[in-house]
Structure 1
Amino acid sequence: MTDREVARDVGLLLKYALDHTLTPGRHDTYNRLLDRYTTDPELRTAFEETAAGLGLRTLSADRATGLVLTAEIDSPLAVADTAPWLRITGAGDRMVYGVALGGVAAWCYPTARAVREPGTRRVTAVDVDRLIREHAAAVEAGEAELPAGLGPAWEEYSVHRKQIAVTKNTGQLKRGCTVKMCEEVLVMLSAFGLVVPDRTIPRPRPDLQVWRSTDRFRAHVAAGGGPLAWQTIVNTGSSALGEEET
């Protein structure tokens, strides 16, 4: 193939990989290019070099999900604004959302085997909140430990934030309670195809969804340090702490 044809195919493959709604099984051109990515070293090298120049890294490539990419923090394609999903008004919100994000990963992929094997898991904000609070109780009882520096995030979540708070008029969850904040994290993950709605069972509450994890999310969790359930939360909490406002 000519250099121009390789460049064209790299651009197309990158376009498809960045669209989480597309899968090779439902798109002939994507399927053909993924075949070439796995068998043609020239195309694969050109793709990886182009992606690296944009601050992107390939996490996995398979028939089910296609190419799963992650963006480095300084990439122009990194998510720089979470405001459409997370309502952050200060460092406390950042810490709670960070713990909630780690909690989702820990619930969906609690073991090394869960991260290695394809599969999905049903998850709700209630599940995630309960898991986090159970761990917080274990820490309080001296049955588990947190690395130095993470205490404020766990205290903010488990002590200073209510688990459930509802409005008087509608009975809907108020923002700022931890179950609501876990739901907002799940909604954000769904925007990137990391979880999807599961409508096969009733919702736990009218204002909460039932979700199911995806192999795309599994690839991100695996690349982020593996399953080690609470290490995932710890790492996420550490990142959140690093973003405290001054």
Structure 2
Amino acid sequence: MTARDDARDVGLLLRYGLDPTMSPARHDVYSRLLDRFHTDPDLRTAFDETADGLGLRVLTADRSAGLVLVAEPTSPLAVTDTSRWLRIRGTADRLVYGLALGGTTAWCYPTARAVREPGTRRVTALDVDRLVRDHAAAIEAEEITLDGGLGEAWREYATNRKQVALTSSGRLKRDCTVRMCEDVLLMLASFGLVVVDRTVPPPRDELRVWRSTDRFRAHIAIAGGPLVRQTITGSQVSEGHRQAGQDQSGPPDYGEPFDERGE
């Protein structure tokens, strides 16, 4: 292989790694380049130097997840505009979305063991919302102690926002927490961190059933989860939910119907 060949292959690997829809299991060129990434020191050196210059870091590179990259905050490839998925009108919206992101991570990977083990985990916006609200209730009841009491984020989510609010046409309003959780899941899907699970019916027409991916697991296992996730999984709330979350067949049944009035 010449230096020109290596430069071309580095570019192709970056292209594949930055496209969550590509899989080495379904793409022969990607598979061959991934083999070279592991066995050819010249290609690996050229790739690492190029990635470093772009502010990219390799989280994992295997046939299951593919080449998973994460961009440093200063990278020109870092995601800085989430308006395509999230409607952030101020600090309050940002807090709610942050809890939804943390709740999604905690639901899919509730324990260190779950992060280590391969396998997908089913998740819906209702699961995430219930987990966050259960935790907020435990904080408010002083079963869990946080500095400053309930905390601004938890209060905004559990007290100031409705679980469900409907438009005149019966659609979920953008500022109710179930819809905001769904928006977070849609954003994660755009990066290949969750995918639609079509084997079971969705809880509502405008909601979907999702499954986590090995890319998501790699992000959590190597890059680490957000502080919100650590707060949720480090508590005693919803222990039954977290235990059941290890079952790859899907989340537990809450035993009661979802109240669309949000009561």
- TM-score, normalised to structure 2, is 0.84
How far 1:150 sits from its partner (Å)? 8.0
- Aligned-pair CA distance for 1:145: 2.7
1:138 offset after TM fit, Å?
1.0
Q: Cα 1:42–1:145, aligned 2, differ >3 Å: closer, same or farther? A: farther
| 2:174 maps to 1:205 | no
> Pairwise mapping of residues 26-175 of structure 1 onto structure 2 (< 5 A)?
26-147=26-147, 151-168=151-168, 170-175=169-174
CA contact (8 A) 2:55 2:75 kept: yes
Q: C-alpha deviations, 1:2-44, integer Å up to 9, x for none?
A: 2222111111111111111111111111110100111122211
User: TM-score normalised to the size of structure 1?
Assistant: 0.90
Q: How far off is 1:223 after superposition?
A: 2.5
Structure 1 residue runs without a partner (length 5+) = 235-246
Shift of the 149–14 alpha-carbon distance from structure 1 to 2, 3 Å rule, reads farther
Query: What residue in structure 2 maps to residue 222 of structure 1?
Result: 221
Deviates further, 215-224 or 109-118: 215-224
Unaligned 5+ residue runs, structure 2? 234-263
Give the paired residue count.
233
Q: Distance in 2 between matches of 1:227 and 1:75?
A: 19
Equivalent-residue separation in structure 2 for 1:192 and 1:227 (angstroms): 17
Secondary structure of the equivalent of 1:24? Answer: coil
Q: Is the 8 A contact 2:139 2:149 kept in 1?
A: no
In the other structure, the counterpart of 1:238 is none
Does the CA contact (< 8 Å) of 1:114 and 1:227 recur in 2? no
Asked whether the 8 Å contact 1:112–1:228 carries over to 2, the reply is no
Q: Distance in 1 between matches of 2:150 and 2:75?
A: 27
SS in 1 for 2:160: coil
8 A Cα contact 1:195 1:217, kept in partner? yes
Q: Contact 2:17–2:69 (CA<8 Å) still a contact in 1? A: yes
* CA distance, structure 2, for counterparts of residue 148 and residue 73 of structure 1: 29
Q: Cα gap change, 1:227/1:86 in structure 2, threshold over 3 Å: closer, same or farther?
A: closer
- Overall identity of the aligned pairs, in %: 70
Structure 1 CA distance for aligned equivalents of residues 43 and 80 of structure 2:
30
Is the contact between residue 105 and residue 232 of structure 1 (CA under 8 Å) also seen in structure 2? no
RMSD: 1.9
Q: Which secondary structure state, in structure 2, belongs to the residue aligned with residue 128 of structure 1?
A: helix
Distance between the aligned counterparts of 2:102 and 2:225, measured in 1?
12
Say whether 1:195 aligns with 2:194.
Answer: yes
CA distance in 2, matches of 1:45, 1:145: 48
User: Deviation per CA, 1:84-127, whole angstroms, max 9, x where unpaired?
Assistant: 11011111001100110111000000000111111110000000
Deviation at 1:177, TM superposition (A): 0.5
1:115 and 1:226 in contact (8 A); partners too = no
